[in-house]
Amino acid sequence: MEDYKTEILDKICYTDLVYERINKKLNIQLPKDKIEKMIYEIIEGTDKTMFQKTGKNIYITNNYKNVRLTINSYTNRIITADRLNKKTTK
């Protein structure tokens, strides 16, 4: 199993639009620096077994924070963040 966690933490990047998307999807209103800190803490606090690569994306599921992050595995760019619901926590 690859160590996606270390690489993502070292190389994660953001687009301008993703900040708006994260605020909208998670129903929050945080500035860019707070979003980056929150995302870093979610990734850092998630066990490596909860990183799943499917196609070009890596899905990071953190049940404690009730969040799933989607990261592009080629660019290490965050694509989106979603709140977990009963269907996605199987």
Question: What pLDDT score was predicted for residue 43?
Answer: 98
CA 71, CA 82: separation in Å to the nearest integer? 12
Digit-by-digit pLDDT tens for the chain (90 residues) are 578 999 999 999 999 999 999 999 999 999 999 999 999 999 999 999 999 999 999 999 999 999 999 999 999 999 999 999 865 444
Quick one: fold of 4-83? YaeB-like fold (3.30.2310)
Q: Where are the domains of the chain?
A: 4-83
Q: Taking the alpha carbons of 21, 39, 73, 69 in that order, is the dihedral positive or negative?
A: negative
- Tokens (6 digits) for 76: 């290490």
